[in-house]
Amino acid sequence: MITLQRISKAYGSHRVLDDLTFTAEAGRITLLVGANGCGKTTTMRLLAGLSAPDRGRVTIAGHDIARDRAAALAALSFLPQSPRFHGALSVEALLRFYARLRNVPDSRAGTLVERWGLGRHLGTPTGKLSGGMRQRLALAILLLADVPVLLLDEPGLSLDPDWRGVLQRELERAARDGRCVFVSTHLLGEWEDRADRCLVLEGGRIGRELPPNRLRDVFPFASSVMRRANAV
């Protein structure tokens, strides 16, 4: 479970988050949506411990990230938006490195290599991977450790529809296993009937919560894009 309590964050005079409070429960997929610049990425940075709030408290699986950072980070796995890696390292070297950091056996990495279709690219330097392949590698790294909290920032970007389907099934399985899955996304239509909750970030706080089975109706632009995509 993750909790943000009365979080405020400003960059200079621009206040991005203002008294933001919410909880994302274990065993559920929670979406965070909102317009560009509303503070989604700032919220993800705070949750991942990459930035500190000006005020308020962030807890990951019961660990206050400011006071017990190591335990909080051990409880989460994070997928940054548009992930990139050291270009000289191969897919295999990277997976082994993160497996060591997470104390995960190599066999687990092998399973994820197969699941994410990376088997033929093990020796390829990551600098030569396409955007989609990099995203799949980052997803394999995300799922290496059996942690209670998964944070994903725009995970569907760069993935083709087939792999987006695989991603959603993986995240549904993670939620069924009791993990807290927290996703920041713009691809609302794809999450309809798959997410359990949908929080809308407006004016630096959660402005409303949407019914997860009506995302296309509530966001007509996303809906029209989906209709056009389906027609094509």
Partner 1 sequence: MANARLTALAATFRREITAHRLNRFLHVHLAIAAVAGLLPLFTPAHTSGAAPWWLLQAVLYALSLSALLLGLSSAHGEAEELALLFTQPVQRWVWLSGKAAGLAALIVPAALLLIAPAALVGGLTVELAGIAAASAGLTLALAAAGLALGLWIRDGVRGLLAVMGLWFVLLFGADLLLLAVSGAPWVHRYPTLWIVPLMINPLDALRITVLFGFGDAAPAALDGSRLAGWWIGRSQSWLALVLVSWTLAGFLAAVAGSRRSVDV
Q: Which amino acid is at 78?
A: F
Kindly give the residue spans of alpha helices, DSSP state H, lying in the chain: 40-48, 69-74, 91-101, 106-115, 131-142, 161-176, 188-191, 215-218, 220-231
For partner 1, the binding residues in 38-97 under the rule CB under 8 A are 41, 44-45, 48-51, 70-71, 73-74, 76-78, 80-81, 83-89, 93, 96-97
Examine residue 103 and tell whether it contacts partner 1 (CB under 8 A).
yes
Supply the minimum distance, in Å, between the C-beta of residue 166 and partner 1: 20
Q: How many residues bind partner 1 (CB under 8 A)?
A: 35
The nearer residue to partner 1, 30 or 42, going by C-beta atoms, is 42
d(CA 34, CA 210): 11
Q: How far apart are CA 130 and CA 30, in angstroms?
A: 29
User: Residue 204, by phi and psi: left (phi above 0), alpha (psi -120 to 50) or beta?
Assistant: left
| Nearest alpha-carbon partner for 78 in 54, 49, 117 | 49
Contacts (Cβ under 8 Å, ≥6 apart) of 46: 4, 7, 9, 17, 52, 53, 58
Give the shortest CB-4-to-partner 1 separation in angstroms: 17
What minimum distance in Å lies between the beta carbon of 193 and partner 1? 29
Instruction: Work out how close the CB of 116 gets to partner 1 at its nearest, in angstroms, rounded to a whole number.
Output: 16
Q: Which is nearer to partner 1, 145 or 171 (CB)?
A: 145
Query: Which tokens is 153 given?
Result: 């920032």
Task: Give the nearer residue to partner 1 in terms of CB position, either 87 or 161.
Answer: 87
Give dist(CA 183, CA 180) in Å, integer: 10
CB of 89 to partner 1, least distance (A): 6
Site map for partner 1, 135-174, x if CB under 8 A? ---x--x-----------x---------------------
Site membership for partner 1, residue 132 (CB under 8 A): no
Residues 94, 166: Cα–Cα separation, whole Å = 22
Token pair for residue 185? 């996304």
Looking at the Cβ atoms of 29 and 141, the one nearer to partner 1 is 141
Biggest distance spanned by C-alpha atoms of the chain? 51
Q: How far is the CB of 156 from partner 1 (least distance, A)?
A: 16
Question: Least Å distance between CB 70 and partner 1?
Answer: 6
How many helices (H) and strands (E) the chain has is answered by 9, 10
Binding of partner 1 at residue 101 (CB under 8 A)? yes
Binding stretches for partner 1 (CB under 8 A): 41, 44-45, 48-51, 70-71, 73-74, 76-78, 80-81, 83-89, 93, 96-98, 100-103, 125, 138, 141, 153
